[in-house]
Chain A
Amino acid sequence: MTPAVSFKQVSRHFGSVRAVDAVDLDIGAGEFFAMLGPSGSGKTTCLRLIAGFEQPTSGRIEIFGERAEGVPPYRRNVNTVFQDYALFPHLNVLDNVAYGLMVKGIGKAERHREAETALELVKLPGYGARRPSQLSGGQRQRVALARALVNRPKVLLLDEPLGALDLKLRENMQEELKSLQKSLGITFVFVTHDQGEALSMANRIAVFDHGRIMQVGSPEDIYQRPNSRFVADFVGSSNVLPPDFVARHGGARRWASLRPEAVRIVDGEAGASGARGLEATVVSHSYLGGTTRLGLDVEGQRINALLPAGQPLPAEGQPVRVGFAPSDLHLMEEGG
């Protein structure tokens, strides 16, 4: 099957800055794809390359098998939901949504009907007569979404779509976007720096750093089997363990990652009976609601442990024994 978006050795350099550097990437049709990375990692430039706001310095981009280099944004069947929504302040909501149909020359009655349908899709029926300035942030986001979807794009691009919303709205929107994507079957590509957002929404994630893709995979792959220290550290603040430490505790002489929730506190008796017990000191406590994060000092190595609520918590400075299953120690490709 033709991929929805295909990058072949795509680079975008701004002077000496390599915003995107020799990226190879295939995004399948119908995927909910996340580009994850810290700011300045090239993920937004990649999105703008797909939208057509940037042209690659070298390499090839194909959208559903068609060459995209040199094709201006208005001739691509791709629509964008902008980070600041970019609603037209001089138009009301209905005309904002109908804008794409209007420039295509579709008659007023028909385009208004379709715009109204799109507004229903994003649960804003009857908001057409309002001005964008009269809407809340969450409502503007929905209008921006409707304005993009009304054009029936083959690929929908979302630039930090939930960045400006508060936590509760963000959680609602995450679920809505997911179900919307499922029911429409359109390829969604979204950019985010929030690993939780990427993990919960996407089918597949590409982790970016310094203009390169560090790893592409399913959320489980990325979270449980990071291939590099960067991915392990960026996606979910994993414990990154140096080769010496790993060698001492049952792995090969390689860098390894250990998820904080895989670390358990074992009391002395249980620890003696088989489970791998390590001497540790509690350095810090962070109460996170559903869980508590403990900072532990194990043989001079700082290790974080995530304990579910309800478990008795050792006090700060108290010596404890900690354990983890050797299978939880994920060895990474990087050698010592």
Chain B
Amino acid sequence: MRSDRSSAPVSLKIAAAAGLLFLHLPILLIFVYAFTTEEKSYQWPPPGFTTQWLAVTWNRPDVWQALGLSVQVAAISTVTALVLGTLCAAAISGSKFFGREAISLLVILPIALPGIITGIALRSAFSLAEIPFSMWTIILGHATFCVVVVYNNAVARFRRVSGSLVEASMDLGANGFQTFRYCILPNIGTALVAGGMLAFALSFDEVIVTTFTAGQQQTLPIWMLEELVRPRQRPVTNVVAMVVVLVTLLPILAAYYLTRDGDQIAGSGK
């Protein structure tokens, strides 16, 4: 005899709020410490507030170097993943062949494997093949999971683009390239953008695989890890953390909204 199912007891509401606070308060703390006047340790409450760390961070060349490397790695891995992931999704969803399910599983596996396994495996493979560590080895490492993210997004959308659409396009005189450009891409576009943004964000804050596949180079997350160990101008790390949060959060939010809208458009199709 419940007359009002939508109203939860107050205790449950408090518990839910507490849970959410527990999840997100620490992130706010990072923002607060970016403006503290104390530079040796994280003291609470902060003795004072200053914006000088923004300027200090701006003038640190090692920050710029790490940021530059991270952006390059994330961008190139994302582009690689977009190409390979889309091709793979097209192959898996567009045809039936022996071992299709097995290949689909193998493609997804890198994201199911712990990063440390991927990292060790790649490191030993690189040294076995005598490939010197460089930005490209980092990119290779990141591409393993970026491809999966793009693939997963694309394959779900490809399933909804019926095979007869491609045939219809060819039938109407469009060659392979035109069919991709005018028929396939508009239907999978938002899924690709979403997958690409997720891939970019994942690559941008990746630590574990990077530690195994990087040589002397430092990506931004690796640089932050090192900074925590030697305390010098600590709030600089927090300023960088703030930037990382913004750089990764925005694409993920955008990806979320893009796929949501895409689903609505696709959903209204039939």
Contacts and interface: CB of A to CB of B under 8 A. Distances in A.
Interface in A131-155: 132-133, 147-148, 151
Which of B169, B170, B187 has the most chain A CB within a 10 Å cutoff?
B170
B257 interface: no
A287 interface: no
B206 to A, nearest CB: 34
B168 interface: yes
A294 interface: no
Contacts of B266: 89
A84 B269 CA distance: 13
Interface stretch (B1-9, B175-183, B226-234): B175-183
B164 A86 contact: yes
A22 B268 CA distance: 45
Contacts of A53: 167, 170-171
B186 interface: yes
Contacts of B268: 133
Interface residues of B, number: 21
B52 interface: no
A147 B173 CA distance: 12
A182 B168 CA distance: 25
Interface residues of A, number: 29
Interface string B249-270: 0000000000000000010111
Looking at chain B's contact residues, the main secondary structure is helix
Which of B164, B186, B187, B269 has the most chain A CB within a 10 Å cutoff?
B164
A73 B171 contact: yes
Given A80-B171, A91-B186, 5 more contacts: A82-B167, A99-B172, A103-B174, A103-B178, A148-B172
Contacts of B187: 88-90
Interface of B: 162, 164-165, 167-175, 178, 182-183, 186-187, 266, 268-270
9 contacts: A82-B164, A82-B167, A83-B164, A88-B187, A89-B187, A99-B172, A103-B174, A103-B178, A103-B182
A98 B171 CA distance: 13
Interface in A51-102: 51-53, 72-75, 78-80, 82-84, 86-91, 99-100, 102
Contacts of B178: 103
Nearest to B168: A86
Nearest to A73: B170
Which of A73, A75, A104, A133 has the most chain B CB within a 10 Å cutoff?
A73
A79 B172 contact: yes
Contacts of B164: 82-84, 86
Contacts of A78: 171
B182 A74 contact: no
B269 A100 contact: no
Interface in A100-128: 100, 102-104
A74 B270 contact: no
Nearest to B167: A53
Contact of B182 (A75, A82, A99): A99
Nearest to A133: B269
A102 B174 CA distance: 9
Contacts of B169: 88, 99, 103
Contacts of A88: 165, 168-169, 183, 186-187
A151 B172 contact: yes
A74 B186 contact: no
A282 B174 CA distance: 60
B100 to A, nearest CB: 17
Nearest to A79: B171
